[in-house]
Amino acid sequence: MTTAVADAHAAEDHDDHGPTKGYKRWLFSTNHKDIGTMYLIFSLVMFFVGGAMAMVIRSELAVPGLQFVHPEFFNSMTTMHALIMVFGAVMPAFVGLANWMIPLMIGAPDMALPRMNNWSFWILPVAFGILLSTLLMPGGAPAGGWTMYPPLILQTGDAFPFLIFSVHLMGISSIMGSINVIVTIINMRAPDMTLLKMPMFVWTWLITAYLLIAVMPVLAGAVTMLLTDQFFGTSFFLAAGGGDPVMFQHIFWFFGHPEVYIMILPAFGVVSEIIPTFSRKKLFGHDSMVYAASCIAFLSFIVWAHHMFTVGMPLTGQLFFMFATMLIAVPTGVKIFNWVATMWRGAMTFETPMLFSLAFVFLFTIGGFSGLMLAIQPADVQYHDTYFVVAHFHYVLVPGSVFAIMAGAYYWLPKWTGHMYNEKLGKLHFWASTIFVNITFFPQHFLGLAGMPRRIPDYSVQFADFNLVSSIGAIGFGLSQLLFVAVLLTAKRGEKATDRVWEGSHGLEWTVPSPAPWHTFTTPPKARIANESFE
């Protein structure tokens, strides 16, 4: 019986058929590479949409006084910028990388659940279409901050239910994506690839996917309670009806803190692939990297209230959250030390992916330092809700997550397109980004320490100097990203890429041709052979 089915399949000759032509290839796609490409393009578009909002924010803040926008619209911009960058740019970019690379790295023919894969992508344009449409609604786009704290968020106009619905859709998309990642990794690895032999990018994504499944339903619950408070007369968060506004913050940050690691763990994975390649040396302490990432994931569930040191918690609670938060520095330190040890006595070259990864290690560490400072509760009372916090999370998200995504894009681009990208343009993009990102965000530390609160459209003149510097940097950073578009547009003009692409690369993804054919690994490969040849 089984043989008969297999024979029937062989007769249909599935191996050779290529993609359907036209829009149907993309709309109905179940191919992990096509879906990965769509995710990546979508996230790049969102990166520019969210970036345009950042330009509005920084233009208004360039000099004191109100020049361009009204305070309500300014608040909409900060809210939408955050929602779009978090859920529309950073997260889908990592899912795109996961879709493209996880099957190639573990020797699987595709993602385990290809039809669900199609859904989890196509929900996103709908979700963000809804979210962006709120800009045109009476009462304007949501302006209560991406954290959606009640009661303020309940003052949103007609946009409110659309905000909730789009957040629900984003959550559904993320959950489906992460189920797919977990099932693929657990079931479809090359037969001789044991868990601890998996590449770091696969490992960090496995952990990230579990985090997503754990916390996205929590966010969905929180926003649903907002919805019923607004429309169905419940009082989950309304003091007048016996509810508690602070409870929302606890629930939100129980989602929100793991969310932070959802956006950085895959970045750790990307960088852990790239640094060994260009150091021509194996990743130092592979297993301890796995344990460190798992520790970070566990700790991320028990530190949420460090976002809430000023809401008035009992002393013992605050002590617990301070100590737990400080502990995160230990596994994070292990990661950084291991990357440095990987470089140590290697034979390094500095192609664009390596440059972005090195900047990641430097600048993410600076974000980590300010994170450690923020963990100290009495000092956090001073830093909380100031530009110091803005500087901190932009350091871990922009030269952190975004640089890692850029590094990954440059690293795997030749495998995707079959051609080497323009290295000169890539390096220019790197240097412009790195210089401007620091001009933008470093002065914000000073602004926060000097007393400038975040989310304000105008400020006292003593903050003028650094705000202007920051705005100049932001415009420079925004323009620099157009260089990346230029790199992509010219990506197919370079010389043909070899299968291995990079001299020091190792792993299964480099054993398939460049560009990777539409179907790969229809028979499972031997992971051991792929690794041995580079040792």
The span of 36-44, 180-188, 324-332, 404-412 binding other proteins (CB under 8 A) equals 324-332
Q: Is 496 helix (H, G, I), strand (E, B) or coil?
A: strand
Q: Judged by CB under 8 A, does residue 361 bind other proteins?
A: yes
Q: Judged by CB under 8 A, does residue 337 bind other proteins?
A: yes
Q: Judged by CB under 8 A, does residue 463 bind other proteins?
A: yes
Select which of 134, 156, 173, 279 is catalytic: 173
Radius of gyration of the chain (CA): 23
CB of 319 to other proteins, least distance (A): 6
Is 59 annotated in the active site? Answer: no
Q: Judged by CB under 8 A, does residue 521 bind other proteins?
A: no
Dig out the tokens for 323 from the structure.
């100590």
Q: Judged by CB under 8 A, does residue 478 bind other proteins?
A: no
Nearer to other proteins, 184 or 505 (CB): 505
Nearer to other proteins, 45 or 247 (CB): 247
Among 450, 486, 488, 512, binds other proteins (CB under 8 A): 450
The burial of 294, by beta-carbon neighbours within 10 Å (0-12 exposed, 13-18 middle, 19 or more buried), is given as middle
Is 257 annotated in the active site? Answer: yes
> Residues 66 to 85: which contact other proteins by CB under 8 A?
66-72, 75
**CA-wise closest residue to 424 among 351, 482, 476:** 351
> Residues 365 to 394: which contact other proteins by CB under 8 A?
365-366, 369, 372-373, 376-379, 381-382, 384-386
Q: Do 401 and 367 meet the contact criterion of CB atoms below 8 Å apart?
A: no
For residues 243-267, one letter each, b for 16 or more C-beta atoms within 10 angstroms of the residue's C-beta and e for the rest, the string is: beebebbbbbbbbbbbbbbbbbbbb
Among 116, 246, 435, 488, binds other proteins (CB under 8 A): 246
Q: Judged by CB under 8 A, does residue 137 bind other proteins?
A: no
Is 119 annotated in the active site? Answer: no
Among 225, 469, 483, 497, binds other proteins (CB under 8 A): 469
Residue with tokens 């949103």: 156
Is 146 annotated in the active site? Answer: yes
Q: Judged by CB under 8 A, does residue 230 bind other proteins?
A: no
Output the CA–CA distances (angstroms, integers) from residue 326 to 4, 165, 369, 476, in the order listed.
61, 36, 11, 35
> Residues 179 to 218: which contact other proteins by CB under 8 A?
none
> Residues 266 to 285: which contact other proteins by CB under 8 A?
279-285
Q: Judged by CB under 8 A, does residue 32 bind other proteins?
A: no
Nearer to other proteins, 64 or 125 (CB): 64
The burial of 534, by beta-carbon neighbours within 10 Å (0-12 exposed, 13-18 middle, 19 or more buried), is given as middle
The burial of 7, by beta-carbon neighbours within 10 Å (0-12 exposed, 13-18 middle, 19 or more buried), is given as exposed
Among 38, 40, 56, 143, binds other proteins (CB under 8 A): 143
Is 380 annotated in the active site? Answer: no
Among 364, 466, 484, 502, binds other proteins (CB under 8 A): 466
Q: Judged by CB under 8 A, does residue 449 bind other proteins?
A: yes
Nearer to other proteins, 71 or 513 (CB): 71
Residue with tokens 């009806």: 241
- DSSP code per residue over 259-324: HHHHTTHHHHHHHHHHHHHHHTSPPTTHHHHHHHHHHHHHHTTS-GGGGGTTS---HHHHHHHHHH
As a whole number of angstroms, the distance between CA 164 and CA 149 comes to 13
Nearer to other proteins, 39 or 146 (CB): 146
Among 186, 330, 479, 485, binds other proteins (CB under 8 A): 330
Is 174 annotated in the active site? Answer: yes
What is the C-alpha end-to-end distance of the chain, expressed in Å? 44
Query: Which residues are known to be catalytic?
Result: 81, 110, 146, 173-174, 257, 259, 261, 272, 306-307, 332, 335, 454
